[in-house]
Amino acid sequence: MKDVIIVGAGLMGSALAHQCARLGLDTMLIEAGSAGGAGATAHSRGIVRVYDPHPELMSWAVRGVREWSNWTLPGPSPFVACGLYYCVRQANREASLAALSGHDHAQYPIHVLPASSPALPPELRHLVEAGGIVLHEPLAGYVDTRLAARLFVQSAKEHGAQVLEGSTVLRVGADRESAQVMLAHATLRARRVVLAAGAATPSLAQVPGMYCRSIPLSSVRSPAKAVPAHCIIDEVSGGYIRPDGSEFLFAGGALQHDAASHQQLFFDLPGAGARNAELAQHLTGTQAMQLLDTRPGYDGYTPDFLPHIGPSPDDQRIVLATGFSGRGAKYIPAVAVELARQLAAKSPAGVPA
């Protein structure tokens, strides 16, 4: 019998498998497709930053940025520290300043820039509302979630974990002795089963309040190779961009749709692509942008954007690690560290903020 079986090899499941195996737990990771190749991980472009309007998520982001910045696994680092400008609307100015209290320090500076600040790039000034501010995180950046998932899986294997790719979990359950994972022709047992299957998790266990939301993301080209070197998030327009070299960027912020499951989501990819391209033009201050394509991304969401981390309502032996609400890339490695420690201590009671 395994110590832990993890269902789902997206960023959360793969990071957790790495941490559990590193702590000496007899670990198995099961993925219906390939590691990092489905769900939110497949489409995410992983902007990593500290500031978040939600204080608990901001606390997690502090720890998450530290994990990404101190990446030590062999191979190329999946994290690129390109910097980020976060444009805060005037109505949220005071709340953002209060949230930043205690988070701006020498190891991770966060600069508060009014529109008149000489430190604010001129091409961003049109994004600042009267009375609004821009938060500059020079050490923020983005992560290649697919590469990170594969590197986590490789590390888990090197620490003795077993990884089953291409195996679909049909059901999970538990009795007085163990938790069970049912495959097509066999049942596997473990002391704990962790469901890290993203938006698909509710098909295997109760996840209170969780639903699915579309995240249409577009690839956009700058023929003039004038893509900003940094990420930009704008509260007023709802748009965001992430660079991919000087010629290409990823843009998001188009209308999202909700559904009970990802199979039921509605995607207007042409409309979303047009809107994302418009946002890319707005955020970069240039009209010379060419839409390339739009991806039907999605994630499992919760009403308060906080993830479900801890025992399932179904049984204490079934643990949830899901509901990252489109914001998980920046802090999932920190959650994995804490949850693995709890699993090793045999007390996954929910990860504290």
Condensed to tens digits (0 to 9), the pLDDT of residues 101-158 reads: 877 677 899 999 999 999 999 999 999 998 899 999 999 999 999 999 999 999 999 9
Q: What is the mean pLDDT of residues 317-340?
A: 97
Percentage helix, strand, coil for the chain under 3-state DSSP, each rounded to 5: 30, 30, 40
> pLDDT tier at 78 (50, 70, 90 boundaries)?
very high
pLDDT tens digits for 26-76? 999 999 999 999 999 999 999 999 999 998 999 999 999 999 999 999 999
Q: Say if residues 280 and 292 touch (Cβ distance below 8 Å).
A: no
pTM, to two decimals: 0.95
- Grouping H, G, I as helix, E, B as strand and the rest as coil, residue 292 is strand
Phi, psi of 125 (to 5 degrees): -60, -30
Compute the residue count for the chain: 353
> pLDDT tier at 349 (50, 70, 90 boundaries)?
low
Q: Say if residues 258 and 184 touch (Cβ distance below 8 Å).
A: no
Radius of gyration of the chain (CA): 20
Measured distance CA(267)–CA(296) in Å, rounded: 7
pLDDT tens digits for 49-61? 999 999 899 999 9
Measured distance CA(146)–CA(324) in Å, rounded: 16
Phi, psi of 252 (to 5 degrees): -140, 175
What is the predicted pLDDT for the residue at 353? Answer: 35
pLDDT tens digits for 186-238? 999 999 999 999 999 999 999 999 999 999 999 999 999 999 999 999 999 99
What is the predicted pLDDT for the residue at 347? Answer: 59
Residue partners of 98: CB distance under 8 A and separation at least 6? none
What is the predicted pLDDT for the residue at 104? Answer: 64
Secondary element (H or E) of residue 65: helix 55-69
Is residue 143 left, alpha or beta, with left meaning phi > 0 and alpha meaning psi from -120 to 50? Answer: beta
What is the predicted pLDDT for the residue at 246? Answer: 95
